[in-house]
């Protein structure tokens, strides 16, 4: 009898799959999604647009018209090319596979996005995590020492960082880029609509930098579209690793249509930035709650008991993220997605039950 244990890598057998909680019937505030649907009239126009998509044909592997529109709307520098992915997750995987030479390592500040480490391990690379300072800023000296010691192939810098919400100091990042002359630095701007700061205008200024984004946080998490911008020589190599037809026709058509209506999504992001400020102020006023500065569409909050807070909110039909076990720096921390005004009010009412 042949079993998976006979065939599958031991490290894979020891892993757990990426956890996604069942949110059926709950106020879903655990995954940093935009809570607002498209306006009804715009959704109807999109439906008409998608009705004309040829579902019987493979998608264009590199849809040049869409890429050109994306470059124009997102202000990608003229000397940069763009690679599309099935979300940022696939782009991270592509980078890992392409850079997985024998003994190659991936380095990133921790706590950070878990897929940096997971994709590195699945590609057979060692992951080196460098702890942030206690206030979740970059420990630049520790990072520089780790770069000198490990000479990583890839360095990830999330701008802003998840799950902390920190917008790292640009001068600190410049020091890291300068020290990483033998590494590729991937600046992950998944939450850029809420930070309103970006390295995209400088994506072509460095020979070792690429900028990664997704439309997920902009309000299109369901279509799974990420994009990587950088000098042509980098993008051409990563394109060799990209699976054929990786971005489906419905995703391409949706993105093409909504890039012409980016003002709607930008307005939603602006509303969420306003809601973030209101929510941060209200949560900070609760006894025992420490709210950390956030440039994302979420708040990291330290509470007296993260498990009790999570369970109390779940009992109130509100789903948040308990991140307290992810890293020692996150002890007793929960992550609250910024939702609609009604969703935030429900979350606040539930938080008052446990914190008061």
Looking at residue 1, its pLDDT comes to 92
pLDDT in tens, 76-91: 999 999 999 999 999 9
Task: State the average pLDDT over residues 275-297.
Answer: 97
Same domain membership, residue 83 and residue 22: no
Same domain membership, residue 277 and residue 227: no
Same domain membership, residue 62 and residue 31: no
Q: Residue 287: give its domain's CATH number.
A: 3.90.1150.10
Looking at residue 16, its pLDDT comes to 87
Residue 356 has pLDDT above 90, yes or no: no
Q: How high is the mean pLDDT of the chain?
A: 96
Domain end: 261, 290, 307, which one?
Answer: 261
Q: Residue 167: give its domain's CATH number.
A: 3.40.640.10
Output the six-digit token pair for 179. Answer: 């020290």
Same domain membership, residue 205 and residue 113: yes
Looking at residue 28, its pLDDT comes to 96
Which DSSP symbol is given to 112?
-
pLDDT in tens, 32-49: 999 999 999 999 999 999
**Do the Cβ atoms of 215 and 87 come closer than 8 Å?**
no
Q: Which residue has the tokens 């956030």?
A: 294
Looking at residue 129, its pLDDT comes to 98
The residues that bridge with 117 in the sheet, in sequence order, are none
Residue 333's domain comprises 4-39+263-355
Is the Cα torsion angle 121, 122, 125, 131 positive or negative in sign? negative
Task: State the average pLDDT over residues 229-249.
Answer: 97
Same domain membership, residue 276 and residue 251: no
Cα separation, 232 vs 345, whole angstroms: 47
Same domain membership, residue 297 and residue 208: no
**Do the Cβ atoms of 143 and 118 come closer than 8 Å?**
no
Residue 56 has pLDDT above 90, yes or no: yes
Looking at residue 196, its pLDDT comes to 87
Domain count, the chain: 2
Looking at residue 148, its pLDDT comes to 97
pLDDT in tens, 147-201: 999 999 999 999 999 999 999 999 999 999 999 999 999 999 999 999 989 999 9
Residue 46 covered by a domain: no
């Amino acid at each position: 009898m042949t079993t998976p244990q006979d065939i599958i890598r031991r490290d894979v057998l020891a892993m757990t799959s990426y956890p996604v909680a069942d949110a059926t019937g709950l106020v879903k505030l655990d995954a940093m999604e935009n809570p607002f649907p498209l306006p009804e009239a715009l959704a109807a126009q999109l439906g008409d647009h998608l009705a004309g998509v040829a579902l019987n044909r493979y998608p264009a592997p590199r849809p040049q018209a869409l890429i050109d529109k994306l470059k124009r709307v997102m202000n990608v520098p003229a000397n940069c090319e763009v690679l599309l992915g099935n979300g940022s997750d696939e782009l991270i995987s592509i980078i890992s596979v392409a850079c997985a030479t024998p003994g190659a390592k991936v380095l990133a500040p921790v706590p950070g996005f878990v897929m940096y480490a997971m994709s590195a391990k699945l590609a057979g690379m060692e992951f080196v995590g460098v702890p942030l300072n206690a206030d979740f800023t970059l420990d630049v000296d520790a990072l520089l020492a780790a770069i000198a010691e490990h000479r990583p192939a890839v360095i990830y810098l999330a701008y802003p960082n998840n799950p902390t919400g920190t917008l790292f100091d640009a001068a600190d990042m410049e020091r890291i880029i300068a020290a990483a002359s033998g590494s590729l630095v991937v600046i992950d701007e998944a939450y850029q609509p809420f930070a309103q700061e970006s390295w995209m205008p400088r994506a072509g200024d460095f020979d070792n930098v690429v900028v990664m984004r997704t439309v997920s946080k902009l309000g299109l998490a369901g279509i799974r579209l990420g994009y990587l911008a950088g000098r042509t020589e980098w993008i051409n190599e990563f394109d060799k690793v990209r699976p054929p037809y990786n971005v489906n026709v419905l995703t391409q058509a949706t993105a093409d249509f909504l890039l012409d209506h980016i003002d709607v999504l930008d307005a939603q992001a602006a509303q969420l930035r306003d809601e973030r400020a209101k929510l941060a102020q209200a949560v900070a006023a609760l006894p025992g709650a420490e709210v950390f500065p956030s440039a994302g569409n979420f708040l990291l909050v330290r509470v007296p008991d993260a498990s009790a807070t999570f369970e109390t909110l779940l009992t109130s039909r509100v789903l948040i993220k308990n991140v307290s076990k992810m890293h020692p720096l996150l002890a007793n921390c929960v992550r609250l997605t910024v939702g609609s005004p009604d969703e935030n009010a429900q979350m606040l009412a539930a938080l008052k039950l446990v914190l008061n």
